[in-house]
Structure 1
Amino acid sequence: MIFTAWAMLAVLGVYFWTGVMAGYARVKYGVPAPSMEGPAAFHSAQRVQANTLEQLPIVIVPLWLCATYLGDAWAAAGGLLWCVGRIAYALGYYRDPARREIGFVLGMVASALLIGGTVVGLLMH
């Protein structure tokens, strides 16, 4: 499951990047911790990080289940698609929150494919 392990590291890398971007926004816009009050750009960075955290359980669990029951390459592909979706989501949200949809949809499709792949793999066993 080496490909899945690399995809898992990519998932964590995306999450780490969103956390760094949220911290950078806090410094850039002078929003001292623990305050959450600041300009819209600060709120966007915070929401991207929080939304990404909220998505982790629905990608990490099916990522490993899919790898176990369907196959390493399938799971890794789903994990990497999720990363592409979350990066697109973040970049869209940073520009304009209304531009986040395509990334959100890609991430959700990736999670759905991982869940579906797990079901297929379980049925094949």
Structure 2
Amino acid sequence: MSALTAMPLTSLGTILVVAFTFYASMGAGKMRGNVKAPATTGDIEFEKAFRIHYNTIEQLVIFLPLLWLAAPHWGDFYGGGTALVWVIGRMIYARAYRRDPSNRTTGFVITLLALLVAFLGALIPLLMMLF
């Protein structure tokens, strides 16, 4: 049995996470016309899109491994739901950051909570097995 058939919601959630990350990179890329390579500064709208993308990548490399470590222990609904909350948090973060970077806190906190749930979901079963 593959991970896709054993955990379809977690797999779908992972696809949503990756799709949102691709979307965030496209937002940065579309703005690129106003900033000549290799610069990453000079146009405020590009800088916002670049920061949204970069922060999403920073979160992604931590979140996905934790999600896939936690989901087998807590179930597919847990994995898919946690991924969905992460994506919603990122969407809120991105929208708020584009409007006014000082208002990004709500989306960041939602993302951070999903990350914490995945972290604890991976850590608790591991500690229970070890001790």
Matches within 5 A, 1:28-43: 30-43=34-47
TM-score (norm 1): 0.91
* 1:80 aligned residue: 84
What is residue 3 of structure 2 aligned with on the other side?
none
Percent of paired sites with the same residue: 37
The one of 13, 22, 30 equivalent to 1:7 is: 13
Contact 1:70 1:120 in 2 (8 A): no
Q: Pick the aligned partner of 1:64 from 63, 68, 74.
A: 68
Residue range with higher mean Cα deviation, 81-90 or 54-63: 54-63
Number of residues paired by the alignment?
A: 123
The reply on whether 1:24 has 2:33 as its aligned counterpart is no
1:89 to 86, 93, 97: 93
Alpha-carbon RMSD across the aligned residues, in angstroms, is: 1.4
Equivalent position of 2:56 in the other structure: 52
In structure 1, what is the Cα distance between the partners aligned to 2:126 and 2:39?
A: 46
How far, CA to CA, are the matches of 1:8 and 1:86 in structure 2? 14
Q: What letter matches 2:78 in structure 1?
A: W
Name 1:106's counterpart in structure 2: 110
Distance 2:116 2:62 in 1: 9
Residue deviations 1:15-66 (CA, integer Å, cap 9, x gap): 0000000011112xx2122221222211111000001001112210111011
Rounded Cα–Cα distance in structure 1 between residues aligned with 2:114 and 2:41: 33
- Name the stretch that deviates more: 107-116 or 66-75: 66-75
State the distance in 2 between where 1:58 and 1:81 align: 15
Instruction: Please report the TM-score for the alignment, with normalisation by the length of structure 2.
Output: 0.87
How far apart, CA to CA, are the structure 1 residues paired with 2:109 and 2:92?
A: 10
Give distance in 2, aligned partners of 1:99 and 1:24. 23
Q: Give the deviation of 1:124 after TM superposition.
A: 6.0
Equivalent residue of 1:118, what SS? Answer: helix
